Structure 1
Amino acid sequence: MSLLLKIDRYLRRTNMSRTQFGRLAVNDPRLVTDMVRGRVIGPAVAARITRFIDGTEA
């Protein structure tokens, strides 16, 4: 599953905005919108996002 799809599913489940997610996950409110527009993120940021999602769903 792509990271963007994982984020989208998380946002739907939690009713969280893209801005709030980016701010909480990696301190970047434009993260998700930029990813949708083609921004490529590095492995360190991807790991932080995954840890955030996994940590809040535990």
Structure 2
Amino acid sequence: MHLLRRVEKFLREHDIPPTRFGREAARDPRLVLDMRRGREPGARMTRRLEHFMNIYAGGQPQ
């Protein structure tokens, strides 16, 4: 699944504002907004976001 799609689903499921997600996952509160505007995170950032989502969700792979 595309990373932005996974992030959007995660935000809805956990009722987290996009700025909070970006700040906690990557120390970048504009991350989700930038992704919505076409920003493509690199491999390292992608792994970091996936790790954050998995840990936050209790370690359940999505």
Over the aligned positions, Cα root-mean-square deviation in angstroms equals 0.5
Relative to the length of structure 1, the TM-score reads: 0.96
TM score, norm. by length of structure 2: 0.90
Per-residue deviation, 1:40? 1.4
Instruction: Tell me how far 1:47 sits from its aligned partner.
Output: 0.3
Match of 1:34 in 2: 34
Deviation above 3 Å: which 4+ runs of structure 1? none
- Long gaps (5+) in structure 1: none
More contact order relative to length (CA 8 Å, sep ≥ 6): 1
Identity within the alignment, %: 40
Larger helix fraction of residues? 1
